[in-house]
Amino acid sequence: MSTRIPRNATKVFYATESTTRTKPDGEVIRCAGREQRSTTFREARRFLDDLGVPGSVTVWTERSNRTDAYADRRADGTWTALDRLTGTWEPLPETKEGQS
């Protein structure tokens, strides 16, 4: 499930599975699980959907050389994306079969 990222890519999407662990004192912490780098959001979204797990997608851009939040997948399979203009998380539409 790995994707070859071209050396001259200007944008890279990181899909990361969210998992939880319980510390010896009983505290539950959130940590990262499997991860995939993709050249498109569609590939990153498909990775988490195929796993059927909650997770997040971040995007790195060459221009700013920063990694920013892009979208989240909840445990129930719904997606939300960050609207950069308003700073709010908004639901993403469901993908149709074959379009993911």
The residue extents of the domains of the chain are: 11-86
In this structure, the number of other CB atoms found within 10 A of the CB of residue 35 comes to 12
**What pLDDT sits at residue 1?**
47
What's residue 25's pLDDT? 92
pTM: 0.79
How far apart CA 96 and CA 100 sit, in angstroms, is 7
Q: What is the pLDDT of residue 6?
A: 78
Residues of the chain with pLDDT under 50: 1, 100
